[in-house]
Chain A
Amino acid sequence: MEKDTLQQALPLDQMLIEQYRKNKELITANDIQYVSKLREEAFQTFMESGFPHSGMEQWRHTDVDVLTEDAYLNEMEVPDTKKDIEELFRCDIHNFDTETVSMLNGWYIDKESPLKTLPEGIIVGSIRQAMKAYPQIFEKYYGTIVPKNANGFVQINTAMMQDGVFIWVPDGVKSAKTLQIIKIINKEEQLFVQSRNLIVLGKNSELSLMHCDDSVNQQSSLVNTVTEIFVDENANLELYKLQNLNDQSGLINSTFVQQMANSNIKTNTLTFNCGLIRNNIHVKLDGQGSHADVLGLYLMDKQQHIDNQIRIDHNVAHCTSNELFKGILDEDASAVFNGYIHVARDAQKTNAYQNNNNILLTPTATINTMPFLEIYADDVKCSHGATVGQLDQEAMFYIRSRGISAANARLLLMYAFAADIINEISIEALRQRIDDMVKKRLRGELSVCDKCVLHCGAPEKEYHFDIDLSKI
């Protein structure tokens, strides 16, 4: 621990470089050779590039200096966790039975079964264990979905990652329950946490996955997550990301997806709270007939900042993609949306749609939205749209003229705006819970919860807006 305290005095990049050099043995202790080799390459790249900065085009509107120039503690060894930790991760979404994988401060906490096979045949566990058990899978996919020229955050993750989640859904296997990764940060010190996930879906398989990033404390932290996902032919992935960290924290979240023929993915990134968030989602459509829905909702206030960078590569013909991100920004919050669609020369019959809608509740809230289409094929359908607006005053008066208070009218309109994204959640119990959370967030009642983000008390007893009576 003494060593760690010393390291906290250095800026993050220098601290990490020093730490890597001094602790190489410790870092690579569980490695297969293939992974160690990638670490070394990535480390060299990071030494040259360092962290991205606001002078770079893709980081122009997101100043990460405030995060990277700070000093952090980066734990190098698995800490001792007590038994009662289980309680921290208990997830009690009503009617929502999940298979839970828990990570505390970046470490996989189930020491008794660090790698397990679920009844239907899905293998899930700590990436440290998995690489030794399934070296052939790592050699085939790990580090291959991430582009070689990825930014410094991705490089340092590849170089120094120590834990994360591995999921392998073998050919033809379908997840019986939603698999839920709950990541909690709870530490007295200012932590730097890296986690690395590898998710492989075999042919004709199905996975429903939920990925929650939460903080329990009010201490600042910086989380740097890299997730690689391979989706083989005819496979289906649903991925829900819930982000609810404290106002002091930073989250850099990079997700890389590769899709093969006739595969489908649907990702839904729901951001409720965090000081600074950068979501990089990069989907490569590499097999004909594949489809990607990339959706997101962000509800930010105070001086929070969110940056969603979405890139869809249409590399082959007959693929479709649909991007929809919606945001409500209050107070001094700021947001960036960058939707980049790349259509390769032979990717004929591509159909790509992109939309970003924003509501700014105050004159001091800001949004930079940038659609970017790069099209090299000639028989494609691509469209994009972006809107920035305020709450509709006509609608406000109409609602109030029916007896609904100004506060509720405002809420109703904001909620209606967000509903497009919420309604895309296909797991009913989860949809209802997210719905509750959105309402709480819009009312300003959702705080960084004392436990998991989904422990936001009993579900609301009184439904004001969300009962669809037509279904009774």
Chain B
Amino acid sequence: MLLNIKNLTVAIEGKEIIKGLNLQVNKGEVHAIMGPNGTGKSTLAAAITGREGYEVTEGEIWYKDQNIVELEPDERANLGIFLSFQYPVEIPGVSMTNFMRTAINAQREYNGLPPMPAGEFLKLMEEKKKLVDIHSKLTNRSVNEGFSGGEKKKNEIFQMALLQPTLAILDETDSGLDIDALRTVAKGVNELRSNENAFVVITHYQRLLEYIVPDFVHVMYDGKIVKSGSKNLALELEDKGYEWLKEQSLV
């Protein structure tokens, strides 16, 4: 099993947001996590990636046979966990090229490899740019600076393509995307799917799942997964909304 979350409780400033969550993800699978706003979907992503201020008060997150709860965010990244941000951060003064080269070399160093030669890196960039239809000039600009909403999300997938994670978490990657950008992003993700990696797709709407077809759909409510099922569950949710779940979870 690639990811095994056991009875996870996460608090922000003492307030419990995730309240005993269980999730198992195997290589080769795509899991969608859906649910109404404020149920802890993004908190789950933050807890898996080790964001500061998200305190795991109970439970364990097992990834590649180790409990990663105490690991630093960069260490988790180097173990192959990637987060596509809901709101990618602008970093003025740091060019995309230098940022990604630093990231790739950090990962290589972690794995005991020498830094990637400049030529090889350039080639890799060119190859991955095509995947998400990124303009050459975007990579010469500062990280996300002045990028449109769509460009930012494409840039997340571009980074993911370069870093080749084993576990990718896409946090509301569809928010703010028009249909063309959504298709491009989904195409990028689908091309990266393999038997060696897994995806956790956090989304509010079913729309994205038409393009990135999940193996499993989980519904979160009030800090827990209250229902799991196949991709059909997403359609059901689209149809009925979330209200019926609230009633069900109260039972």
A410 to chain B, nearest CB (A): 12
List 28 contacting pairs A-B, 8 Å CB cutoff, sorted by A: A397-B52, A398-B85, A398-B88, A399-B91, A399-B99, A401-B73, A401-B82, A402-B100, A404-B103, A405-B72, A406-B72, A409-B74, A415-B94, A416-B93, A416-B94, A417-B93, A419-B93, A464-B98, A465-B94, A465-B102, A467-B98, A467-B118, A468-B98, A469-B101, A469-B121, A470-B97, A470-B139, A472-B122
Query: How far is B122's CA from A404's CA once the two chains are assembled, in angstroms?
Result: 20
Interface check A136, CB cutoff 8 A: no
- Give the residues in chain B near A465, CB-CB below 8 Å: 94, 98, 102
Interface size on B, residues (CB 8 A): 40
CB distance from A202 to the nearest CB of B (A): 38
Are B98 and A400 interface neighbours, CB within 8 A?
A: no
For the complex formed, measure the closest distance between the CB of B43 and the CB atoms of chain A, giving whole angstroms.
14
A413 in contact (CB, < 8 A):
yes
User: Measured between C-beta atoms, what is the minimum distance from A416 to chain B in Å?
Assistant: 3
8 Å CB contact of B77 from A394, A402, A462, A464: A402
Interface residues of A in 14-34 (CB under 8 A from B): none
Residues of A within 8 A of B72 (CB): 400, 405-406
Which of B77, B90, B93 contacts A401 (CB under 8 A)?
A: B77
Q: Smallest Cβ distance from B161 to chain A, in angstroms?
A: 13
State whether B74 touches A404 (Cβ < 8 A).
Answer: yes
Q: Which one, B1-9, B20-28, B104-112, B198-206, is touching chain A?
A: B104-112
Closest B residue to A402 by CB, please name it: B103
CA distance A430 to B94 in the complex (A): 20
Number of chain A residues whose Cβ lies closer than 8 Å to a Cβ of chain B: 32
Is B92 part of the contact surface with A, judged by Cβ < 8 Å? yes
Residues of B within 8 A of A413 (CB): 91, 94
State whether B77 touches A416 (Cβ < 8 A): no
Residue of chain A at shortest CB distance from B107: A403
Inter-chain contacts of B125 with A (CB < 8 A): 469
Q: Which of B74, B83, B91 contacts A395 (CB 8 A)?
A: B91
Interface contact B140-A405, CB-CB below 8 Å: no
Check B93 against A400 for contact (C-beta < 8 Å).
no
Interface SS majority for chain A: helix
Is B163's beta carbon under 8 Å from chain A?
yes
Query: Which A residues are CB-close (under 8 A) to B74?
Result: 400-406, 409
Contact A398 B106 (CB under 8 A): no
B51 to chain A, nearest CB (A): 6
Q: How far is the CB of B116 from chain A (nearest CB, A)?
A: 12
- Of residues 78 to 92 in B, which have CB atoms within 8 Å of A's CB atoms? 78, 82-83, 85, 88-92
- Closest CB of chain A to B151's CB: distance in Å? 16
B173 lies within 8 A of chain A by Cβ: no
- For B42, the chain A residues whose CB sits under 8 A away are none
Which one, A393, A395, A464, A469, contacts B97 given CB within 8 A?
A469
The answer for the CA separation of A465 and B105 in the assembled complex, in Å, is 11
A395 to B93, CA, bound (A): 12
Residues of chain B lying within 8 A (CB to CB) of residue A86: none
Q: B184 contacts the other chain (Cβ, under 8 Å)?
A: no
A404 touching B106, Cβ below 8 Å: yes
Whether B159 is near chain A, meaning CB under 8 Å from some CB there, is yes
Task: Tell me whether A393 and B52 are in contact (CB under 8 A).
Answer: yes
- Tell me the nearest residue of chain A to B79, going by C-beta: A403
Q: Which residues from chain A contact B94 at a C-beta distance below 8 Å?
A: 412-413, 415-416, 465
Q: Once the chains are docked, how many angstroms separate the CA of A462 from the CA of B72?
A: 25
Report how far A406 CA is from B106 CA in the complex, Å: 11
- A428-472 contact mask (Cβ, 8 Å, vs B): 1 or 0: 000000000000000000000000000000000010111111101
